[in-house]
Amino acid sequence: MNRAIVVRHGDPLDIVPRFAKEVGADTVFVSEDFGPYGAKRDNEVATRLAAQGVRLERVGSPYAVNPGVVRKNDGTPFAVFTPFSRGWMSVGWQRPLPAPTNMNLRGAPDVKCDGIPPEPECAATLPAGGEEAAWARWEHFASDALSRYKDERNNPDRDGCSMLSPYLRFGVLHPRQLLAELRPDKNHDHYRSELGWREFYADVLHHQPRTAWENLQVKMKHLPVDTDERAKQRFAAWCAGMTGYPIVDAGMRQMLATGWMHNRVRMIVASFLVKDLHLPWQWGAKFFMKHLVDGDIASNNHGWQWTAGTGTDAAPYFRVFNPALQAEKFDPNGVYVRTWLPELASVADKFVHTPSESPTGVPHGYVAPIVDHGEERDEALRRYKVVTGK
């Protein structure tokens, strides 16, 4: 059987039924979307197709195990990752299917094809597209960094991450393909666990769609946050990578330049926004979704809630990352921050994460810290006490 890829541009509510009618299809197959927007869209497409006698069949999904499948013995969903992970592993998944053959990538000869849109100007700074590029990145990662993944995945100064999240986000690779590459080994096990986090957050969002933008822990809606003019000014400094905390600013500039940010740094910059600046986590989540090429609503927004202490984190809100100590631990020589903050190139290693403490002062082109971390940590704990009484 010959297969062809035909590209059409437009609103799927209009384009899909029109295309089905044009080619005389009686069934349309799609990969099931479990996100709130995608599920709603597909239901509306199904209704429009049904009106013209065409069925919409959902086959597979972007996950190894579909959201909603992994449950406790009493049938309720898991709320914490570790027990979910055990259930996810026990359910298991099929090996990936072989690639299709006889695929005509130039479209069908008798069917109009709009073609793939031209690359945007920013494409040169983004990860290379396509399955070939994705597998090349995997081979690079698997041949070296995977063997040290458990110990080095948190170090942004090293090439220690797979950086495959954009390919998973857009379905270029399926998680079952990566899971099939892993073997029993502490580093492979940890990478498998990281893939499990993606599936866990999708499961949480599936069961509670409101948590895309609302606190999973309802009590946390009473946590005081700042939204006044000064808050907006601080948010602007955070967005621009000009907070005076190098690890935070380096992460933001990496994302603005490449559409990607190291995962440990994502946690640090998120903690800084919600616990040093006391801003709503939704502000940061929206900014990330705007700029991350791997932006996934379930992973992104529940990751933000984990850091903000409003989501699935089993530890309380009082975890507050000290950006300088985090940087000293995971970027000890300042390699990462200097990569994205050339203003710090000549700052001594001793002060690269706290340049305002250098005898020569803050280097030209950089800024002094916009807040005092110690004071803001105490303020974050005071606000937490307002909610919990603890």
Q: Looking at the structure, tell me whether residues 97 and 195 fall in a common domain.
A: yes
Question: Are 334 and 368 in the same domain?
Answer: yes
| Cα–Cα distance, 211 to 204 (Å, whole number) | 8
- Rounded to an integer, the average pLDDT of 345-374 is 96
With cut-offs at 50, 70 and 90, classify the pLDDT of residue 210.
Answer: very high
d(CA 96, CA 175): 9
Rounded to the nearest 5 percent, the helix, strand and coil shares of the chain are 55, 5, 45
Higher pLDDT, 154 or 314: 154
- Domain range for 235 is 218-388
As separate numbers, helices (DSSP H) first and strands (DSSP E) second, the chain gives: 16, 4
Is 34 within a domain? yes
- On whether the CB atoms of residues 81 and 197 are closer than 8 A, the answer is yes
Residues 361 and 314 placed together within one structural domain of the fold: yes
236 and 343 in a single domain? The answer is yes
Domain boundary among 60, 80, 99: 60
Does residue 104 surpass a pLDDT of 70? no
26 with 147, same domain: the answer is no
List, for residues 61-78, the tens digit of each pLDDT value: 999 999 999 999 999 999
**Statement: residue 111 has pLDDT above 80:** yes
* Residue 3 pLDDT greater than 90, yes or no: no
| Residue 10, beta-bridge partner list | none
* Claim to verify: residue 69 and residue 53 sit in the same structural domain: no
- pLDDT tens-digit map of 326-351: 999 999 999 999 999 999 999 999 99
Residues 88, 194 within the same domain: yes
8-state DSSP, 244: S
Q: With 80 as the cut, is the pLDDT of residue 56 above it?
A: yes
Closest CA to 224 of 39, 25, 380, 86: 380
Structure tokens given for 185: 């080994």
Q: How many domains does the chain have?
A: 3
46 in a structural domain: yes
The whole-number average pLDDT for the span 210-217 is 96
Residue 384 resides in a domain: yes
Query: Computed over its alpha carbons, how large is the radius of gyration of the chain?
Result: 23
Tell me whether residue 113 is in a domain.
no
Name which residue leads in pLDDT, 217 or 318.
217
Which tokens belong to 4? 């062809």
In this prediction, residues 47-64 reach a mean pLDDT of 97
Domain end (from 148, 183, 207): 207
Q: The tokens of 372 are what?
A: 């005092």
The half-sphere exposure of 367 on its side-chain side, counting CA atoms within 13 A, is 15
Q: Give me the percent of the chain exceeding a pLDDT of 90.
A: 86
How does residue 107 score in pLDDT terms, banded at 50, 70 and 90?
A: low
Q: For residue 30, tell me if it sits in a domain.
A: yes
pLDDT in tens, 246-255: 999 999 999 9
Residue that is written with structure tokens 């869209």 in the block: 41
Distance CA 119, CA 116 (A): 9
Q: In sequence order, what are the residues at sequence separation of 6 or more whose Cβ sits closer than 8 angstroms to the Cβ of residue 35?
A: 202, 205, 212, 297, 298
CA distance 214 to 331: 33
Res. 103: pLDDT tops 80: no
Mean pLDDT of the chain: 94
**Helix 229-240 vs helix 246-258: angle between axes, to the nearest 10 degrees?**
70
Side-chain-side CA neighbours of residue 47 (13 Å): 7
Q: What band does 2 get if pLDDT is binned at 50, 70 and 90?
A: low
Q: Are residues 98 and 201 in the same domain?
A: yes
- Do 153 and 289 lie in a common domain? no
Contact 352, 337 (CB under 8 A): yes
Q: pLDDT, tens digit, for every residue of 274-330?
A: 999 999 999 999 999 999 999 999 999 999 999 999 999 766 667 899 999 999 999
The answer to whether residue 241 is domain-embedded is: yes
First to last CA, the chain: 66
Q: Is 236 inside a domain boundary?
A: yes
pLDDT digits (tens, 9 = 90+) for 76-98: 999 999 999 999 999 999 999 88
pTM: 0.94
pLDDT tens track for 160-170: 999 999 999 99
Contact by Cβ (8 Å): 215, 305: yes
Q: Which pLDDT band, with edges at 50, 70 and 90, does 31 fall under?
A: very high
Residues 54 and 72 occupy one common structural domain: no
The verdict on residue 213 lying in a domain is: no
Q: Do residues 248 and 381 share a domain?
A: yes
Cα–Cα dist 85/78, whole Å: 9
Distance, CA of 249 to CA of 344 (rounded, Å)? 12
Same domain, 29 and 178: no
CATH of the domain at 134: 1.25.40.80
- What per-residue confidence (pLDDT) applies to 313? 77
Domain with residue 10: its CATH number is 3.40.50.620
